[in-house]
Amino acid sequence: MRGWKGTCGFTKEAPTTWSAKMTAGIAHEIKNPFNFVSNFARLSVDLADDLADELDQNADKTVGEIREEVDELLTDLKSNVRKIDEHSQRADGIVQNMILHANVQPGEWRLTDLNALLDDDVNLAYHGMRTRQPDFTVTLERHYDEDLGPVEVAPQEMGRVFLNLLNNAFDAVHEKARSEQQTYTPRVTVLTYQGADHVEIRVGDNGAGVPAEIQDKIFEPFFTTKPTGSGTGLGLSLSYDIVTQRHGGTLTVESEEGEGAIFIVTLPSDLRT
């Protein structure tokens, strides 16, 4: 993994451009699963008609005599229904993430031990990953700055940021482990640092990394490097908004393709002055 020093910045676009991209992204992402649902629904109606025709044409035969033809039609029909359910869930996931993204109810601000908050989220994300992937193993490295004092933040919101970064890190090393089982040891590192006028929280992994050509896009809504259906591409965008707009900080990425990625959250030490 690359060293912990140095960051690369990212600046969001003007609000009008950003809003237009968000609207276009919503339309595109919602349209895709709905198109699939519509297409598979029409195909299912056709299959149901075919099944009815098959039964009508063989009314003088027993079910056993036409079992092969009926089973074939039912198999195709079941497959279509599963696809409808899959893409319906995809659409629902997009809507739920948009609700989170548009949530205007700010969390309660209070002095927070960021070391403790981050550590709780590390454990929560790890056990969540183990629930989804029982064979998941990872080396966890935790480096917490003991000089890090309490910082006034909205802990529920910052916890959402930490969980998203950690879940992405665990996903990244899990995907790499699946392709390099014999030679690869998954590793996720978390670090906190107390600066003179700011605090830093870093979440790093030794996964596949983020290619240089897309590093300036990963905080945009709906942009995702995950396989289709595995993510909506809103987690990093939401995290970016929480860190930059709500907390006046920065969220940046440092990565080398094939070597891993480090996401760096920087917050002012005194956020409410």
Residue 91 scores a pLDDT above 80: no
> Quick one: pLDDT at residue 51?
87
7 pLDDT above the threshold of 70? no
pLDDT surpasses 60 at 20: no
Whether 250 has a pLDDT exceeding 80, the answer reads yes
Residue 226's pLDDT is what? 53
- Using alpha carbons only, how large is the chain's radius of gyration in Å? 24
Rounding to the nearest 10 degrees, give the CA dihedral for residues 250, 256, 261, 265. Answer: -10
What are the two backbone dihedrals, phi and then psi, of residue 260, each rounded to the nearest 5 degrees? 125, -175
Between residues 154 and 63, which one has the greater pLDDT?
154
For residues 110 and 272, give the distance between their C-alpha atoms in angstroms, rounded to a whole number.
10
Per-residue pLDDT for 175 more than 70?
yes
Number of H helices, E strands in the chain: 5, 7
CA quadruple 61, 62, 68, 71: dihedral, nearest 10: 120
Note the pLDDT tens digit of each residue in 117-164.
Answer: 999 999 989 988 988 888 899 999 999 999 998 999 999 889 989 999
Q: Which of 85-89, 152-156, 258-262 has the lowest mean pLDDT?
A: 85-89
Query: Which of the listed CATH numbers 3.40.50.10320, 3.30.565.10, 3.40.50.11030, 3.40.50.970 matches domain 110-268?
Result: 3.30.565.10
Encode pLDDT of 185-205 as tens digits.
999 999 999 998 899 999 999
Q: How high is the mean pLDDT of the chain?
A: 80
Angle of CA points 231, 257, 262, to nearest 5°: 70
108 CB-near residues (< 8 Å, 6+ apart): 154, 156
Higher pLDDT, 33 or 108: 108
CB of 205 closer than 8 Å to CB of 225:
no
| pLDDT of 15 strictly over 70 | no
pTM of the model: 0.63
State mean pLDDT over 44-69.
86
In this prediction, residue 37 carries a pLDDT of 84
More confident residue, 41 or 10: 41
Question: Which pLDDT score is estimated for 23?
Answer: 55
* Cα torsion 29, 34, 35, 36: sign: positive
pLDDT for residue 262: 95
What is the rounded CA–CA span in Å between residue 149 and residue 131? 33
- DSSP 3-state of 128: helix
The predicted pLDDT at position 102 comes to 55
Q: What is the pLDDT of residue 26?
A: 58
Mean pLDDT of 30-49: 84
Where in the chain are the domains? 24-101, 110-268
Cβ-contact 77, 44 below 8 angstroms:
yes
